[in-house]
Chain A
Amino acid sequence: MMKKLISTTALTGVVVGLGMSAAVADASLTIESWRNDDADIWNEKIIPAFNKVHPDIKVTFAPTPPADYNAGLNAKLAGGTAGDLITCRPFDASLDLYNKGHLTDLGSLDGMDNFSDVAKSAWQTDDGKATFCLPMASVIHGFIYNKEIFEEVGIDVPKTIPEFMDAVKKIKDETRYVPIAMGTADQWEAATMGYQNVGPNFWKGEEGRKAVIDGKEKLSDDAYVKTFEHLAQWKDYMGNGYKAQKYPDTQNLFTLGRAAIYPAGSWDITTFNSQADFKFGAFPPPVPANGDECYISDHTDIALGINAASPNKEAAEKFLSWMATSEFAEIYSNSLPGFFSLSNHKVEVQDPVAQEFVSWRDSCKSTIRNSYQILSRGTPNLENELWNVSAQVLNGTMSPEDAAAKTQDGLAKWYKPQM
C-alpha cells in the first residue's frame, strides 16, 4: 500500500514534469495580476483582440487573489518563477521592484509617448529619468446614489457639504433607508472612500498634496482637521453596526436598494451594473461652500511592466506597445467602465455613470491620493496610519484633531522636510 503510494508520487512528478517541458512554445506570455475580477474580460476580449494583430504570441492571464498579490509576486520574482508581464501598483511598490532589478526600463518603448507626464509619474523614478511600467488606468472617487430613493424623498443632488448633510438628515428622518453606505471593518474604505474622496476639496488637490511633500504644510493643518471633522459627521448616518461592516457588505447594502448614498470608487460601477436593479447616478464630492473650486481624486491606479528575467522580452514589448494603442484604450475603458484609460487617445466612454465620473475631469481639478507619492516610505507608514485613524474617526474613538495630529506626528518621525 505504502509502496504503491510512494511510487504514485514519483510517477506524478514524472508525468507533470513531462507535461511542463512539452508546453514550452516559442512566444508565450504570462501576465501576473491582482485583478482576478477582470479575468473574463482579459480572456474573452483583450487577449483575442491582441491575437488578431499578433497571432503568434500566446498570452495567459494569471491572476492572484488581491490580498496575496504583493507577497506572492515578490516570492515568485525572488525565486525566478514570476510571469513575463507584471501588473504594477502605483508608486513605491513598483519603484521598489525596479530598484531591485525586477522591472525593465520602458523609456524607449514604442507607444510610451501616448501618455502624459502626469500619467507616467506614478511609475517613474523620483528624478523622472526612467519609466518602468506602461500606465493602464486611473480610478476616480465620488459618490454613487440611488436615484429612486432620491426621488422618493424629494432631494436633489447635493453640491455643497451643508446640502449633503441636509440630504442625509432628511433620508434618516423620513425613511428607513441607510443614508450613507459605508463600513469601517476593512479600514481602507474609511481612508480611501472617505478621507481621500472628500479631502481634496479641503486641501485644494495637487496644491495641498505637493505642499506637504515640500514641507510647507502639515497634515495637522486646518484643511486636514476639517476633512476629519466632515467624516466624523457621517457616523450618525451610516448603517446599523457599520463598525463590523465589510466592503462586500457595503456593496450589497447599496445594490439591494437599502442605502441611498454610496461613497464610491469608479471601479464599483461594473459591480453595480450587474447587481443593482434600480437607477443610480453619481455626483462629485461636495465642496465646503457654494462657489468653491472643486477637486477630485483621479488616481493613477494600474499599469503593466516587463519582468526583467523574462525570456520573452521581445514579445512582451510587442504586447505593451499594443496596449498603448487606441484600440486597447477603447476595449479596456468600455469593458471595465470605471477604469479610465490614461493614454492621450480620445476614448468615447459609453456607460452613463462612468461618463458622469469622467466628465468631472473637465469641471474640477484632478489630484491623486496624497499618501501615495513619497510620503509612505517610512515607519510609521502614512497610508496604514490613515486607514487606522480614518476608521477610528468614523467609529467615534478618536477626535478629528487627534487624528490629524497623529498622521503629522508619524510623518515628522522620519520625513526630513516635515521634521
Chain B
Amino acid sequence: MKTTQTGWLGRFPWHIAVFLAPAVLIYTLFMIYPLLDSIRLSFFTADDSGAISYAGFANYVTILGDPEWRASFLNALYNNLVFFLVHMLVQNPVGLLLAALLSLPRLRLRSTYRTLIFMPTMLSVVIIGFVWQLILSPLWGISETLLYYVGLVDWFEPWLGQENTALVTLSLISVWQFVGIPMILIYAALLLIPEDLTEAAEIDGANHWHIFWHIKLPLILPTIAMVSILTFIANFNAFDLIYAVKGALAGPNFSTDIMGTLFYRTFFGFQLQLGSPTMGATVATLMFLVILVGVLFYLFGVQRRLRRYAM
C-alpha cells in the first residue's frame, strides 16, 4: 500500500491481489461454483424423468410447512443442538484444561503428552466408530468387565442402542476424537503470549493458577471464541461418525438424526427412499442459513467486541 511509484498501476495494491488470487481462484472454481450450482436446485422441482422446472420457494414451504418434513427437520435441528452443546460443555473445557497444563513452564514430557493426546484426531471415523462400538458392545463385554473391576457393573447399559442415551454417547465419542483440536489451537495461542507479561507477575509472587486466570485467559479469549465458532460449524456439518455407527436412518427412532444425516438421506436417498437433489439442496441451504446465523453472530457480535477489550 505504501508505494513510492505514481500512476494508476502504481497505486493499485498489486500485492494484495497477488496474495489473494491463487486461493480465491481455486476456491471459487472447485468449491463455490459447484456448491452454488447445486444450491440453485433448491428452487426447482424434478419430475420422474429427472427434468427440472422452476418452483420458487415451494421446497422450502414443504420442509418448513408439511408436518412430516417439519417434524424430521426440527428433530434433526434439536439433536444437532444437543450434539453441539455436549461439545461445548465437554470438548472445549477439557481442551482448555489440557492446553493450560501443557503450557505450564518447565513441564517435562510436554511434547510426548501433546503428541499422544492428539492421536485420536488423526484417525478416520470408520476406525473410531468401529473401535467404540466394540468397546461399548454388550457382546464383547469390554466396558462391562471394566465396570465390574470398579464395582459399577450394574450401571452398564447398551448405551449406543437406547433412544435416550445414543445421541449423547455418540457426542462423547466425537468429543474423544476431536478434543485435540481445541487443545492444540489454545495451546498455540498460549505460546504467543509474550513471556515478559507472565514473568512480571511471577516476580510479584503470583501462582500459576492466578497467572492463567487473570493474565493468560483474557488474552486467549479471541482464540476460545474462534474455537467455539469452529465447533459450531463443524458440529452442524457433522455426518461421518453418525453415518458410520448408526447408518443414514440414524436410529433408534431417529434419536441420533442430525442435519448431516438428514441431508444425506434426502439428497442421495436411502434403501427404497429415492434421493431428491432438489429437496436435498433445500435441506443443505437451510443448514447453511443456520450456520451462517452463527457465523455472523460471531463476526459482528463476538469477534469485534473481544478485539476491543482484549487487545
Contacts and interface: CB of A to CB of B under 8 A. Distances in A.
Interface of A: 67, 70-71, 74, 91-93, 96, 99-101, 183-188, 239-246, 249, 252-253, 371-372, 376-377, 379-384, 387-388, 391-392, 395, 397, 413
Contacts of A391: 251-253
A253 B273 contact: no
A218 B270 CA distance: 25
Contact of A387 (B50, B161, B249): B249
- Those 6 A-B pairs whose CB atoms lie nearest each other, nearest first: A241-B138, A243-B161, A244-B161, A244-B158, A71-B268, A376-B272
Contacts of B139: 239-241, 245, 249, 252-253
B251 A185 contact: yes
6 contacts: A74-B275, A379-B66, A381-B271, A382-B272, A387-B251, A388-B253
B275 A244 contact: no
A244 B268 contact: no
Contact of B273 (A184, A240, A376): A376
Contacts of B136: 244
Interface string B153-164: 000011111110
B269 interface: yes
A242 B157 CA distance: 10
B272 A395 contact: no
Q: Which of A101, A184, A243, A391 counts the most chain B CB atoms within 10 A?
A: A243
Contacts, number: 125
Interface string B261-303: 0001000111111110000000000000000000000000000
A388 B161 contact: no
Given A70-B268, A253-B139, A242 B49 contact: no
A70 B248 CA distance: 12
Contacts of A245: 137-139, 158, 161
Nearest to A239: B139
A99 B50 contact: yes
Contacts of A246: 133
A387 B271 CA distance: 11
Contacts of A240: 138-139
B269 A70 contact: yes
Contacts of B252: 184-185, 187, 243, 388, 391-392, 395, 397
Contact of B249 (A74, A379, A384): A384
A99 B48 contact: yes
A409 to B, nearest CB: 10
Contacts of B264: 71
Contact of A67 (B48, B49, B247, B275): B247
A167 to B, nearest CB: 22
B69 interface: yes
Given A93-B269, A96-B274, A184-B161, A244 B137 contact: yes
A92 B269 CA distance: 11
Interface of B: 48-50, 66, 68-69, 133, 136-139, 157-163, 243, 246-249, 251-254, 264, 268-275
A254 B273 CA distance: 31
A243 B158 contact: yes
B271 A384 contact: yes
A246 B248 CA distance: 14
A413 B253 CA distance: 19
Contacts of A377: 274
A240 B156 CA distance: 11
A411 B139 CA distance: 37
Q: Which of B68, B254, B271 counts the most chain A CB atoms within 10 A?
A: B271
Contacts of B137: 241, 244-245, 249
Given A100-B49, A244-B137, A379-B68, A92 B251 contact: no
Q: Which of A96, A379, A382, A392 counts the most chain B CB atoms within 10 A?
A: A379
Contact of B272 (A381, A388, A413): A381
Contacts of A183: 161
A392 B252 CA distance: 7
Nearest to A71: B268
A413 B252 CA distance: 23
Given A183-B161, A376-B273, 20 more contacts: A70-B270, A99-B48, A101-B49, A101-B50, A185-B161, A186-B251, A187-B251, A188-B271, A243-B252, A244-B133, A245-B138, A245-B161, A249-B137, A379-B68, A381-B270, A382-B272, A384-B249, A387-B251, A388-B252, A395-B161
Contacts of A92: 272, 274
Q: Which of A185, A239, A371 counts the most chain B CB atoms within 10 A?
A: A185
A188 to B, nearest CB: 8
Contacts of A383: 271-273
Contacts of A392: 252-253
A239 B49 contact: no
B275 A71 contact: yes
Contacts of B161: 183-185, 241-245, 395
Contacts of A413: 68
A242 B158 contact: yes
B268 A74 contact: yes
Given A100-B49, A239-B139, A380-B68, A244 B272 contact: no
